[in-house]
Structure 1
Amino acid sequence: MKYNKYLNSEGKVYRKENTVYFIDITGKKTPIPVEKIYAIYCYKEVSFTSSVVILLAKYNIPIHYFGRYGNYVGTFYPKGENYSGKVIVKQSENYLNSEKRNYLAKEFVKGSILNISKNLNRYKLDYDKETYLKMLEKANRITDIMNVEAIMRNEYYGNFDKIFKNFEYEKRTRRPPENEINSLISFGNSLLYSTVISEIFNTHLTPSVSYLHEPVERRYSLALDLADVFKPIFVDRIIFNLINKKIINENHFEKDLNSCLLNDEGRKIFLTAYNERLQRTIKHRKLNRNVSYQRLLRLECYKLEKHIMGIEQYSPFVIWW
């Protein structure tokens, strides 16, 4: 089984014969078995020799880069072999047709509403999902659909102070996050976004044509659409667990005048929990077999592709546990 490699310290990745190594600033050398790597995530300044990049391209291994705040910066992805002109045309048609675009945008928000409701139900917190679903049904424009998403997500985040035992959430802040909870949310969301990008590149979909989020230059907006469905499962549940079980505490953050960021040890703890979540398996109801959480993301991409091609209507993944 392949796994993700997280580089959480400065260093260099180089190739010696047919073996790849990561050497950090202390001189510690760690082999990287490329045939077993799914993707590489860099959270510090890491350089790659050209021979390493060529080898990673051969194995279709992407490299994701993140900034100081844990924000996604960019991805090196090998020359694509999965692109399909027919799918790109159909994907664009679904964007240009307002009725088709609205349908997909609503389904992404619907998935968010239902998964958020599942999360809050675990803590016996009220969440009027039916009201939001009715509002969503009546929305006729993308801006209206996004307004529904913003309102329902604000209520969701407003319940966080009832869930956490050791930290206060207060309100959502970004770039930079102003407290521990916001730091974890931003870090987790960026991580999920990059993971979804990896999965999109393994399908015929193009990541820059989206439906809920407006396609713009220099971002993979389709990954934002799909990530919204899975944030409650991949990010929020990890945060709930890490905080309420006191796995992460105030010693795992660096605080400045207007910012609060995970330190190296905090990032390591979150990345370990995230990787464990990706590798965890569940019995898929439709496929009737065990699949990993990471595989769920790929399956969601396949579902979207089938919808775009007119094979099967898309509906979002909704957790049942």
Structure 2
Amino acid sequence: MKRSFYLFNPGIMERRDNTLKFTPVIVNEDNEEIKQQPRYIPIEDVAELYAFGSLRANSALFNFLGQKGIPVHFFDYYENYTGSFMPRESLLSGKALLAQTSAYQNKKKRVELARKFIQGAAWNMVMNLNYYNRRGKDLQDIIDTIKRLSNTLPDAKAVDEIMGIEGNIRQAYYAAFDIILDDFNMGSRTKQPPENEVNALISFGNMMCYTETLRAVHQTQLNPTISFLHTPGERRFSLCLDISEIFKPIIVDRVIFKVLNKHALSTSHFDKKLNKCLLNEKVSYT
């Protein structure tokens, strides 16, 4: 079964027949590179690669990955998503592109679609909160607030109004995190960089959800740059931002609640420096 591979260490990636060879590299105090024990990954086991450390590779490797339909997602030092290598699109459709563009240009249709994304997200947030509310966490007031805000979405006549309602819904939802979590506090939502463990997990999980959505969209005839909730912009796949809004509560947030409350992760899995908190390489062994 194919799965995702996460490369947290800097290193060299090469092709060896139908196998990927990854050699981690460390730099000593004399600025000398020391190659570590290489790891071999059969290509048929790889769904996609996530590169969090510096990755050295040549065009032959990317040609090979492109032929096998394997994307590579890149992240910077602060674990912010910076871009992806995506295999050539094989499902291009002019008819689908015209229909998607037409839906974006039609204000009524765009507002309708944008509303659906947030209604789906709010529904899943409430599902999460109901689960913990039934298990002794006092979340009913927050649930009622999100439902009340969600009920105002049909009255919104513009995407900006919908985004404003979404912001209020998410603010109420994030207030529940400190009630749900037993040993960690989130406080307010901080990013670029995140300031504590919970915010670090949210940022990391949201990026994973975004890249998984991007991979799924590339397997359809949809154009990932034409979106309805988020404004289409240069150098970003904004449709993936739209779609991932629905899934973040049930994929990202549920996992965060589970791994922290079951102590699968601890403070040792994070590096805190000044006002930033990032996951460290220990996570790859968890």
- After TM superposition, the score normalised by the length of structure 1 is 0.81
Instruction: State yes or no: 1:14 paired with 2:14.
Output: yes
1:170 paired residue number: 187
Aligned equivalents of 1:158, 1:32: Cα separation in 2: 42
Instruction: State yes or no: 1:261 paired with 2:270.
Output: no
Instruction: State yes or no: 1:146 paired with 2:186.
Output: no
List gaps (5 residues or longer) in structure 2. Answer: 26-34, 134-138
1:190 paired residue number: 207
- After TM superposition, the score normalised by the length of structure 2 is 0.91
> Which AA in structure 1 matches 2:5?
K
Q: State the 1:35 CA deviation.
A: 2.4
> Which AA in structure 1 matches 2:170?
R
2:31 paired residue number: none
Aligned equivalents of 2:284, 2:162: Cα separation in 1: 34
Contact 2:195–2:277 (CA under 8 A) maintained in structure 1: yes
Secondary structure, aligned partner of 2:254: helix
1:70 paired residue number: 79
1:239 paired residue number: 256
2:227 paired residue number: 210
1:101 paired residue number: 110
1:292 paired residue number: none
Count of residue pairs the alignment pairs up: 269
Deviation per CA, 1:228-277: give whole Å up to 9, x if none.
100011100110011111111111111111111111113553xxxxxxxx
Secondary structure, aligned partner of 2:215: helix
Aligned equivalents of 2:97, 2:205: Cα separation in 1: 29
Secondary structure, aligned partner of 2:152: helix
Contact 1:210–1:222 (CA under 8 A) maintained in structure 2: yes
Return 228-237 or 77-86, whichever deviates more: 77-86
Aligned equivalents of 1:182, 1:12: Cα separation in 2: 31
Deviation per CA, 1:172-223: give whole Å up to 9, x if none.
0110101111111001101111111111111101100000101010110000
Equivalent position to 1:220, from 222, 234, 237: 237
User: Could you say if the C-alpha distance between residues 13 and 223 of structure 1 is closer, same or farther in structure 2, counting changes exceeding 3 Å?
Assistant: same
Return 120-129 or 11-20, whichever deviates more: 11-20
List gaps (5 residues or longer) in structure 1. Answer: 270-321
Contact 2:50–2:74 (CA under 8 A) maintained in structure 1: yes
User: Alignment RMSD, CA only?
Assistant: 1.2
Instruction: State yes or no: 1:250 paired with 2:267.
Output: yes
Secondary structure, aligned partner of 1:108: helix
> Which AA in structure 2 matches 1:224?
L
Deviation per CA, 1:123-156: give whole Å up to 9, x if none.
1122024312321011110000011110011000
Instruction: State yes or no: 1:156 paired with 2:173.
Output: yes
Secondary structure, aligned partner of 1:255: strand
Instruction: State yes or no: 1:180 paired with 2:197.
Output: yes
Contact 1:113–1:132 (CA under 8 A) maintained in structure 2: no
Aligned equivalents of 1:118, 1:190: Cα separation in 2: 22
Contact 2:18–2:42 (CA under 8 A) maintained in structure 1: no
Q: State the 1:79 CA deviation.
A: 1.7
